[in-house]
Amino acid sequence: MEDDRTRQITDLLRELPPEHAQPGFTARVLERLDAPLRTAPRRSFRLALAPAAAVLVALAISAGVLTDWRARHREAVEARQTLEELRAEHGRLEAELREISAPPVVFLGGDEKVDYVLDLGKVRGAEVETSGTSGTSATSAAYHVNTF
């Protein structure tokens, strides 16, 4: 069977009818001798446009890549700014919290040379009452003087 098919292939190949040149072939060849030199016959207008099409495709892809890069860069910058704002806000809130949490310092009085203040943060387990500028009505026994 295999040899038979091989023989059939050979027969088919040899049966293919020979082709003949179209009338006027030689005249057309002689005309092309005088035409501008070209490396290959142009069979298709589309093939002639192919290099330009390839350049356009490359440019479109580059433009798309550039646009995408710029958008990502912009997003990154915005994200960094937001992060910095959040950190600043966090710092402010921390400072406020410290102020609220820190015990007050009470000014008791004094003269030109000495100021008497009561640092409530250093008072342990004692109730402290703040008073006016004379500072004489403090009831807590735990106090100390800071001289500035």
Residues forming contacts to another protein in the complex (CB under 8 A) are 5-6, 8-22, 25-26, 28-30, 32-33, 37, 40-41, 43-44, 46-47, 50, 53-54, 57
Q: Which of residues 41 and 125 has its CB atom nearest to another protein in the complex?
A: 41
Residue 55, amino acid: V
Q: Which of residues 52 and 100 has its CB atom nearest to another protein in the complex?
A: 52
DSSP track, 46-75: HHHHHHHHHHHHHHHHHHHHHHHHHHHHHH
Q: How far is the CB of 89 from another protein (least distance, A)?
A: 53
Residue 44 DSSP class: -
Structure tokens at 141: 């026994």
Q: Which of residues 13 and 100 has its CB atom nearest to another protein in the complex?
A: 13
What is the distance between the alpha carbons of residues 129 and 108, in angstroms, rounded to a whole number?
11
What is the distance between the alpha carbons of residues 57 and 103, in angstroms, rounded to a whole number?
71
Q: Which of residues 39 and 134 has its CB atom nearest to another protein in the complex?
A: 39
